[in-house]
Structure 1
Amino acid sequence: MILFQHNDRKVMSLIKELKKYNIESGGVEVRHPILTPFYLLHQLIKGRKIKVYVFRYIGDSNHFVLAIIRFLSDLLIVLISKVCNIQIWFLCHNVDKETTTFFPGIIKLRRNLIARYSSLILTTNKLLIPKARSIFPNKLIDSISLGYIENGALDLDEDKEIENQILEWIFQKKDQKSKFVFCIGAPAKKSLHFTLISDFIDKINLVSEDNWYAIVVGKQVEKNNFIYNIPFKCVLNKNFIKNYADYYYRVINDFSMSYSTYEAVHYKIPTITENYGILPQLINNYNIGLVVNSSNLDFKQIGNFKFEDAGFDAFELENNWSISADKINEYYQNI
């Protein structure tokens, strides 16, 4: 059996694909991550034959004592795994740094602990492997992929009232020369799109023959007449996005794969990004969007760029849950 840290929709998608290999797998379900060692012990006492425990996110706490307890929890998982002959794998969603960090020293200690005792470190795209090798030298490193999730990555219901408000605003602005950029996500320090979107919209409207507007969902941003802002997380219907989004705008300053990339590709909506993190390399490699410099925008680069389905199709062919299950099965069979 493979036991994944934290049972979310990404893990559930992977569990579904692993069934084709008759690999039993599951996700940890606890009220707080510090309880994970006890969940692991409980599964072992019940007679579950766990061969692999997969660390994923190394979330921090803003309380020092709780941050220390989370380290001790990780340490206990490692000890249990060693005593019970369970392999440790590290599915490294965030290669260079964690999304949320309050105590960098403790996070570094936890990452080093997990990396040291992991027999396999997996990134979430092949383009992340070189960065991972520079951070985790002398470790076995490979890649799997995440993929599109039909009912979305967040466990939230669609908000029809919000959609209707956005739709009313779009209809007020929409004409033959309008372009709508969707900037949707969860607030985090690495999510630079929320900081940069207003400046991007202002500058592109200075050089563009079209009128550019943005729908920003997830965080309060700088007020702008060309932006409709929903300052909290909510889920929009996929058909709503496909019908009204000309582009996604996403800027992440780390080496991780944003779920919105899989979503944009599946909908065949190009992503506009700027020169931060891994996303520019990803976009150029698959031709699924544009990398711009908002301090020196070239409208011809954006206005004349032609997107073809081939790039989106190639990305989905290489980045899906089935491919990940294939790779995991290869390593699992060699235990």
Structure 2
Amino acid sequence: MTALTKFQRLEAQGSWRATPDAPLREVIVSVGEATLVLSDPKNDRPLSHWSLPAVVQLNPGAVPAIYAPGAEGADETVEIDDPLMIEAISRVQGAVASHRAHSGRLRSALMVLAILAVLAGAVLWLPNALVVHAARIAPPAQARDIGMAILADLETSAGAVCTRDSGQAVLDYLAPQLLGPGAVVRVLPGPLGGARRLPGDLYVVGSDLLRAAPGPESAAAHLVSARLAAEDPNLRLVAMRHAGLGASLRLMTLGHLPRNAMAGFGNTLLLQPPPRPADADLLASLAERGIPAEPYARSIDPTGQTVLPLIEGDPFRKAPPSRPLLTDEQWLALQQICAG
């Protein structure tokens, strides 16, 4: 039964009822070798051990799944809504049942097949499922940690984050208006080919978008484009697939990534052009924020040939916005964010 140890680090939240008339109590459900362990989340003290072969689902096919330690006369129940744990219980039960079902040569043959099936599932299904699960359940603080780890790797090739206070104050003023509450923008001295959105609503631009531009409109449009082109859950998943299974398990169990988990991810990111949203979506968002589209389009293609729909659809092509995005003083401070 050594194949079953592949599931032993899997945990999920559940709601346990010790007796039919007892109140529901939050527990941590973990899969052991042929056992289901219910523990107190406050102190990890085991509250109950169930034999997996005897566990039955009282509402087959429903979610949350309700389990009991036996088919008849069982007072205890536990509710689980985590699909990964439900699948794991089903797989481990199948493996245990196959292991015990037969005797003699037939029993040995079926046991080998069951072990191979569990191993195949562990190799092909479980690692990817755990990585996906880690990316999906990461709370905002952990998502921001993933983004900061990627930013640290970007710094190795694009230079340390520019930290001049006056310029960062302008970014902190712009970020909520352009990207929403909680968004953070950082500037790196090296070129990034546009703006990049990282997990945790963290955005990065290269100073090249600021130095040569006549105004902040191009950089602002690049940030809006980055926001529309990439969803945070997808960014987390790509990053966690780079980090791998071990880092994903550590994030789920300890709440943080191993050191250098994102090493090399920044270079991989820079080898790819920044993703772009649909022109219609970008033009609508720029119009809503009072940002002309042509400076952004010309920064991509100075000739305008490949970005003609953006130029012709510029909501401010005939008349500028009613108010500038930044004052002259703010724009100058932003341009000098990497100075000194």
Give the TM-score taking structure 2 as reference length.
0.23
**Structure 1-normalised TM-score?**
0.24
Q: Which of structures 1 and 2 has the bigger CA Rg?
A: 2
The structure with higher relative contact order (CA 8 Å, sep 6+) is 1
